[in-house]
């Protein structure tokens, strides 16, 4: 289980926990690259103006400054810097600045740390890793990418040692068109209140819609009727139309959402729901929005979210519309570890410890280790020629499965043997040819055995 660190909200993993995290990252990276996404990395800081131009989370942003400024430096407010709180806003800036060097549609994945000043709790850290994929177009972007990204994320999450999950999808056009159709013109304000539904409940949201948005009781009830619709197929279209609201934007959103849900339900049945309560709090989303929950762990919140944005990346004269999804890697890994969903087979990469007979044999032991490493076998050499029993116990404490022994015979020849310290089996081996079993070559991540 993950430890509690001395600085709350800034998790640090033990070596065996880090192996689990690296396994998650490797599976995500492998999946993203299989689908043609290129890796990028953006700087950790952005200007405060850039970070806060969309959305309302300024209280969560960490500012960055030197402890002591030179007299000729700008005042703190001029060109102030802050740590990025997500990867989408920095990516939008990256696209604008590099659009002349990119080929569109541009497919990127990005796995980096982000920082957010939230109250620390399980699933919410102040420093955490996100893994994002986005596709961005030059001027236009085919809606088909909204469907494709949902399928890529379903595949990526399916490779991880996590419980069953459901990707919940909605469409901002559908929601905004519906609100306008019932006379609520401030759709972003309505969405912000609907986004609180799971946290505060239906009655409190209705009260907030009346107090904060100016909705009538009937309008608020209609907005909540829409948010209550959830289906595993495209039957939500009929249910929405049964509410009797007419609006062109609503119809456009219905068509788009039906395309995403219909295709995803065909390819990954049971893993996608149309959920018309999904709003997403950030203002830059304009169409499809996604959230993902682990079945049986819904209280953890969304582990993978995102959506379509039309004008987050813009030069003023040209837009670079995009659609993207982001996995909260640290949130997932924390739950995997705390619930013992997976564990590493060992805490170290080393598969072999080369034992020492005496101090004079250290150089020859390094030669053996070099031959093993040349074939991709992680190897350590004992630091001192203790009794073999102590060297074996050292390997056992480290989790190293094999110990290598080299013996110089009377005629000057050298014989080699390798011992599996788990089974006790010891066999003659050639350092230029011996190979450990495939499952022992590297640490593996697997579900714990159950009684």
Strands of 379-381's sheet in order across: 379-381, 352-354, 402-408, 414-420, 426-428
Instruction: Please count the helices (runs of H) and the strands (runs of E) in the chain.
Output: 15, 19
Asked if residues 28 and 98 have their Cβ atoms less than 8 Å apart, the reply is no
Tokens of residue 370, six digits: 């070099």
172 is written with which tokens? Answer: 């901002």
Q: pLDDT at position 58, please?
A: 67
Is the pLDDT reported for residue 310 higher than 80?
Answer: yes
* Contact of 107 with 132, CB cutoff 8 Å: no
pLDDT for residue 184 is more than 90? yes
Four-way CATH pick for 15-41+87-344: 2.60.120.260, 3.40.50.720, 3.30.930.10, 3.40.50.300: 3.30.930.10
Mean pLDDT score across all residues of the chain:
92
Widest CA span in the chain: 99
Residue 60 — pLDDT band, cuts 50, 70, 90?
confident
- Read off the pTM: 0.90
Domain 352-446 classification at class level: alpha beta
Return the closest-CA partner of residue 419 out of 410, 438, 406.
406
pLDDT tens-digit series, residues 123-155: 889 999 999 999 999 999 999 999 999 999 999
| Distance in angstroms (rounded) separating the CA atoms of residues 378 and 429 | 16
Say how far apart CA 310 and CA 322 lie, in whole Å. 6
Per-residue pLDDT reduced to its tens digit, 50-59: 888 755 566 7
Q: What is the pLDDT of residues 338-371, one digit of tens each?
A: 999 999 999 999 999 999 999 999 999 999 999 9
283 pLDDT more than 80: no
Q: Where are the domains of the chain?
A: 15-41+87-344, 352-446
């Amino acid at each position: 289980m993950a430890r509690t660190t001395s600085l709350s909200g800034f998790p640090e993993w033990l070596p065996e926990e880090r192996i689990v995290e690296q396994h998650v990252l490797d599976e995500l990276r492998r999946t993203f690259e299989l689908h043609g996404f290129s890796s990028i990395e953006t700087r950790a800081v952005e200007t405060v103006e850039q970070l806060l131009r969309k959305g309302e989370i300024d209280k969560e942003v960490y500012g960055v400054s030197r402890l002591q400024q030179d007299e000729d430096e700008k005042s703190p407010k001029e060109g102030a810097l802050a740590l990025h709180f997500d990867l989408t806003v920095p990516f939008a800036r990256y696209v604008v600045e590099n659009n002349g060097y990119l080929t569109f549609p541009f497919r990127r994945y990005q796995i980096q740390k982000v920082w957010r000043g939230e109250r620390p709790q399980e699933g919410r850290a102040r420093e955490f890793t996100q893994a994002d994929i986005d596709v961005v177009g030059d001027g236009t972007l085919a809606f088909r990418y909204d469907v494709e990204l949902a399928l890529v994320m379903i595949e990526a999450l399916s490779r991880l040692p996590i419980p069953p999950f459901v990707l919940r999808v909605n469409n901002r056009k559908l929601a905004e068109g519906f609100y306008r159709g019932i006379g609520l013109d401030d759709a972003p304000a309505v969405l912000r209140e609907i986004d609180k539904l799971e946290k505060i409940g239906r009655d409190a949201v209705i009260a907030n819609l009346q107090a904060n948005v100016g909705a009538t009781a009937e309008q608020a009830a209609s907005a909540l009727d829409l948010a209550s619709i959830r289906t595993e197929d495209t039957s939500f279209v009929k249910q929405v139309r049964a509410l009797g609201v007419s609006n062109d934007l609503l119809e456009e959103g219905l068509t788009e959402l039906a395309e995403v849900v219909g295709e995803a339900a065909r390819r990954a049945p049971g893993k996608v729901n149309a959920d018309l309560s999904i709003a997403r709090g950030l203002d830059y989303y304009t169409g499809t929005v996604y959230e993902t929950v682990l079945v049986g762990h819904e209280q953890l919140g969304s582990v993978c979210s995102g959506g379509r944005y039309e004008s987050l990346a813009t030069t003023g004269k040209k837009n670079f519309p995009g659609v993207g999804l982001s996995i909260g890697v640290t949130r997932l890994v924390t739950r995997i570890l705390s619930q013992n969903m997976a564990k590493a087979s060992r805490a170290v990469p080393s598969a072999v410890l080369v034992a020492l007979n005496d101090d004079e044999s250290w150089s020859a032991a390094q030669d053996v280790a070099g031959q093993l490493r040349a074939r991709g076998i992680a190897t350590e050499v004992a630091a001192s020629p203790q009794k073999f029993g102590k060297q074996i116990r050292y390997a056992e404490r480290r989790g190293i499965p094999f110990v290598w022994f080299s013996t110089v015979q009377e005629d000057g020849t050298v014989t080699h043997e390798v011992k599996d310290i788990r089974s006790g089996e010891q066999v003659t081996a050639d350092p230029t040819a011996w190979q450990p079993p495939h499952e022992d070559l590297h640490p593996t991540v697997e579900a714990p055995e159950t009684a």
